[in-house]
Amino acid sequence: MKKFNRKHKDFLYAAYRWINPLINPLMLIKVFPGYLNFLKTWSRYSKLKGAESIKLIDTYPCIAESTQTTPFDRQYFYQDIWAFKKILQTKTPEHTDIGSSVSFVGILSSITKVTFIDIRPIEVNLNNFQSKKGSVLAIPFKDDSIFSLSCLHVAEHIGLGRYGDPLDPLGTQKACRELARVVAKGGNLYFSLPVGKPRVCFNAHRIHSPSQILEYFNGLKLIQLACVDDNGNFIGEVDPVSLGKSDYACGLFHFTKN
């Protein structure tokens, strides 16, 4: 019965993922009370002394933001802080990032010169920041040339076609190989991706065991393995074996090259 329930649950979740891009049934249930509350709030506001007249064309129903706590992505939140603090401590004069979140690299440019590489470069006018078009599978740098390098929550997507990249079952492994190639001797690589029981969630991401990632970077030395666990908690030091039992944790790997 337990196995049946798990399979049933997995099937329903898969069906939800297929339907969700077209219409989100759960959101439909949530939005109706939100719209009612919006209309009530609009009515109360309009009756207040000094309230200006509001035209229908100027209304913007924000119906999902009145929450008890501020929602956020715990994996990205903790990983960006983890990497930022490490880069800050090294006092590196320049840093190269491959495809991480634009908010991370933008804030990072406040403390060091940043070169951001992505197959979809960003166009911004920002001091200490330059964006170049490039792929994690062919990083436009020579061997052993980057002393400070990061690639956060990127490699798990490579080869699954999500971002218009070529399909490749070995995408993540090849990305790790390329990152290891360009990091300099004595340099630092800050790397993250989902870890746990290995599986492929096609068109979205892969989940690797920590031991697989250590094998992909077998020419580098591991300085630290931290994580954001299945419950969204940051753990500064974690054992690869225990982390490998996770469902969908985020492994934070700090490597160097001897």
55-114 pLDDT, tens digit per residue, is 888 888 887 788 889 999 999 999 999 999 999 999 999 999 999 999 999 999 999 999
Query: Does one domain contain both 89 and 191?
Result: yes
Query: Does one domain contain both 24 and 151?
Result: no
Residue 229: its pLDDT value, please? Answer: 98
3-state helix, strand, coil in the chain (%, to 5): 35, 25, 40
Share of the chain above pLDDT 70, in %: 90
Query: Does one domain contain both 48 and 115?
Result: no
Banded pLDDT at 1 (limits 50, 70, 90): very low
- pLDDT, average across residues 150-165: 94
Question: What contacts 117, CB < 8 A, 6 or more positions away?
Answer: 96, 97, 98, 99, 131, 132, 133, 134, 136, 139, 140
Query: Does one domain contain both 122 and 158?
Result: yes
The pTM assigned to this predicted structure is: 0.85
Residue 175: its pLDDT value, please? Answer: 98
Full domain range(s) for residue 26: 2-58
**CB neighbourhood size of 123 (10 A):** 5
The count of structural domains within the chain is 2
pLDDT over threshold 70, residue 3: no
Residue 15: its pLDDT value, please? Answer: 73
Query: Does one domain contain both 41 and 102?
Result: no
pLDDT over threshold 90, residue 232: yes
- The separation between the first and the last C-alpha atoms of the chain, rounded to the nearest angstrom, is 52
